A = this chain, B = another copy of it.
Amino acid sequence: MTMTNTDIELLASGILEGDRKSLSQGITLMESSLPSHAESSELLLSQVLPPADSSLRIAVTGAPGVGKSSLIETLGIQLVEAGHKVAVLSIDPSSPRTGGSILGDKTRMVRLSAHANAFIRPSPSGHSLGGITHSTRSAMLLCEAAGYDLVLIETVGTGQSDYAVAQIVDVILLLVHSHAGDELQGIKRGILEMADLIAVTKSDGIMQEKAAHAAKTYRRALAMSSQASKIVPVLTVSAQENMGITDLWDSIETLVHHDRSEGLFESRRQKQIEHAIVDMAKTLLLNEFNHSACVTESIEELTSQVLSTKCSVHHAARSLAHQFIHHHSNPHHLS
């Protein structure tokens, strides 16, 4: 799809009016890796940019099978019924968009996805993790522009994608199984230490006691960890029985209230944006370098100088970097 400025204006006004189809189309544009879409994405974002602080961004992470979708559905329904607009985005570099994953999401969140004030979007596919972080941030901004005041980001809880999502959310909720012994082995220490809240899932029926025990184990482990100064609430929940969900939300609100009053909320968002700008500036520099005509022109001569031992690789590299910077100090070069 080639988009005219009029298309983008229409899309922007659709999103600002909260039209779900426009929001979906906008997110698809953000996820596109076509160079011709980059400018359109940029234009769309600039037309809808929501006021700062307009939403709360929560990551829901945990191992596969821990019950992320069930919890998001139960919590989500409670929140939309309380008047919130809830968007759910997924980051999962390993899941393809077609087939099991999307069907699974739809099936699992069937009640939430039917609600007028909920918007559910599965993982983008075919992206690098860096690309996913950026497109998820953009998708989140579009959701906020469309009036969603709560954005839940579902991620897979096994490493890289969690570190990435930590760069774009305010709160990290880690879901864990009640068989805590094994679980403590399986979860990367780093992810445990990133969590702001931990919820032991499936705490219902005969599993309740085991879940309570697991929660105790986690509390003890956290108290002994290097991050012991940060108090991380550990709760037990049952999505199926809708137990502990209100307490969980209260804990999140208490935490956010505390962070806001201490200025931590603001300063974290500031750090995140700093990080995103620096990251993207580097990507732009390297892209420009990779496509630079002056680099292509010089590399052959420099290589032959190194081959004939007239200079070292390091020397040639420095010279190439110089040439690039000089050639591109014309501002029209960098796009």
Q: A-side interface residues toward B, CB under 8 Å?
A: 41-42, 45-46, 49-52, 137, 269-270, 273-274, 276-286, 288-289, 295, 299-300, 302-304, 306-309, 311-318, 320-322, 324-326, 328-329, 331, 334-335
Contacts and interface: CB of A to CB of B under 8 A. Distances in A.
Contact of A317 (B270, B281, B299, B321): B281
A276 B320 CA distance: 12
Contacts of A42: 312, 314-315
B52 A311 contact: no
B274 A46 contact: no
List 8 tightest A-B contacts by C-beta distance, closest first: A280-B317, A329-B329, A49-B309, A281-B317, A281-B320, A281-B321, A277-B316, A284-B321
A328 B331 contact: no
Contacts of A284: 317-318, 321
B137 A285 contact: no
A86 to B, nearest CB: 22
Contact of A273 (B276, B289, B307): B307
B326 A273 contact: no
A325 B269 CA distance: 27
A276 B313 contact: yes
Contacts of A311: 46
A307 B271 CA distance: 11
Contacts of A281: 289, 295, 317-318, 320-321, 324
Nearest to A312: B45
A299 B277 contact: yes
A57 to B, nearest CB: 14
Contacts of A320: 277-278, 281
A324 B324 CA distance: 12
Most buried by B among A42, A46, A281: A281
A178 to B, nearest CB: 34
A316 B331 CA distance: 14
Contacts of A328: 325
A288 B318 CA distance: 11
A52 B307 contact: yes
